[in-house]
């Protein structure tokens, strides 16, 4: 046994170096060292801690974003704001007001519950916290515009395409609220399925139709406060997609028996379902085209995004050579500084020296 001896005054402390090294070596995504001690150091998953720091530096508060112009436009009767514009905003608020909570709930009660490395628990806790911020931003939008909150709840339950998108993920999450035996292949694959479903299918693909629509309105100087909050949300989501992709790849690296040809095809078919549901939802969001808003283009965008998610997880794409119809989206995501044109002050949500922007690959 190799030890380290430390003398402090009359006291001598002997530390078992071998035992500490064994504890580090036993860090795993799952089935690692079980301990109530939250010892983040020494780090095994450096990427997780780095991502946590980036996410923390991106912190934002909804109330810091003015909604005066949005309220004026919401009440506009001149025709500058169309019924399609208002419908997109209502659909965005109605869907995301509950969807953000579904993601956060799954992180806490499914994924973080079984992950054993402390630095992974740390970044997953930050992920869940950011879902709370997003949910809070939607409360701020609803109260600012004077939308009846019961109407949003009714939309989530009574619009079939929203209900189907919700059931697609909730049914899976509920099925894993049990004691998983992660020494068994079927349960390891069930966890990997859940991580791919929420990270790549839901947050990574099914959120992006409405993101694009709201930011298209923002690009036309419509609902600038809501658009700004969605830009910050999208920046957060790009980190969430990275987190769940890295988590999946680490899980597979440590448990290669998960990654069978049949399971890889299962994930591809999961994305097929996600894309089908999202395209149906897009057609409900845009029953008629608006200015700069075409349902066909948004459906093409979802194909583009879905294939990117698959490739980044080492899976074959569903289509070939699909082109991003919205290259302007990546241009909008430079969030180093935002000029608040109502009060003439600059809002910087990232600390000096720690500024990051969204990777264009995520858009």
Nearest CA-CA partner of 315 in 270, 274, 278: 270
Q: How far is residue 359's CA from residue 350's CA, in Å, rounded to a whole number?
A: 16
Q: How far is residue 315's CA from residue 130's CA, in Å, rounded to a whole number?
A: 28
Q: How far is residue 296's CA from residue 8's CA, in Å, rounded to a whole number?
A: 72
Q: How far is residue 274's CA from residue 348's CA, in Å, rounded to a whole number?
A: 35
Known catalytic residue: 232? no
DSSP reduced 3-state for 67: coil
Q: How far is residue 108's CA from residue 106's CA, in Å, rounded to a whole number?
A: 5
Say if residue 341 is exposed, middle or buried (CB neighbours under 10 Å; 0-12, 13-18, 19+).
exposed
Using only C-alpha atoms, the chain has a radius of gyration, in whole angstroms, of 22
Backbone angles phi, psi at 339, to 5 degrees: -85, 120
Catalytic residue among 45, 140, 208, 218: 140
Across the strands, what pairs with 4?
15
Return the active site residues: 140
């Amino acid at each position: 046994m190799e030890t380290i001896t430390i003398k402090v005054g009359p006291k001598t402390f002997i530390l078992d170096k071998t035992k500490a090294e064994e504890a580090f070596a036993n860090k795993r995504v799952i089935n690692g060292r079980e301990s109530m001690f939250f010892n983040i150091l020494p780090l095994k998953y450096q990427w997780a801690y780095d991502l946590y720091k980036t996410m923390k530096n991106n912190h934002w508060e909804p109330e810091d974003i003015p909604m005066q112009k949005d309220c004026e436009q919401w009440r506009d009767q001149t025709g500058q704001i169309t019924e399609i514009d208002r419908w997109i905003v209502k659909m965005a608020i109605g869907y995301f007001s509950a969807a953000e909570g579904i993601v956060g709930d799954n992180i806490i009660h499914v994924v973080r519950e079984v992950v054993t490395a402390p630095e992974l628990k740390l970044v997953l806790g930050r992920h869940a916290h950011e879902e709370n911020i997003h949910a809070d931003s939607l409360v701020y939008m609803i109260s600012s515009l004077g939308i009846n909150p019961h109407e949003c709840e009714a939309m989530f339950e009574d619009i079939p395409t929203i209900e189907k998108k919700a059931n697609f993920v909730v049914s899976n999450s509920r099925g894993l609220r049990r004691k998983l035996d992660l020494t068994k292949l079927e349960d390891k694959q069930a966890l990997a399925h859940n991580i791919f479903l929420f990270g790549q299918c839901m947050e990574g693909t099914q959120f992006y139709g409405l993101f694009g629509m709201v930011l298209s309105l923002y690009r036309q100087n419509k609902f600038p406060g809501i658009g700004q909050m969605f830009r910050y949300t999208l920046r957060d989501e790009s980190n969430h997609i990275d987190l769940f992709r890295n988590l999946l790849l680490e899980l597979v690296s440590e448990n290669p028996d998960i990654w069978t040809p049949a399971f890889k095809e299962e994930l591809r078919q999961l994305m097929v379902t996600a894309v089908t549901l999202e395209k149906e939802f897009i057609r409900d969001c845009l029953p008629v085209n608006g200015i700069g808003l075409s349902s066909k283009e948004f459906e093409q965008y979802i194909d583009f995004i879905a294939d990117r998610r698959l490739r980044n997880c080492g899976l074959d794409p569903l289509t070939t050579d699909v082109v991003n119809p919205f290259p302007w989206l990546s241009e909008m995501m430079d969030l180093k500084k935002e000029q608040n044109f109502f009060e003439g002050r600059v809002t910087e949500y990232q600390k000096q020296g720690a500024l990051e922007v969204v990777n264009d690959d995520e858009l």
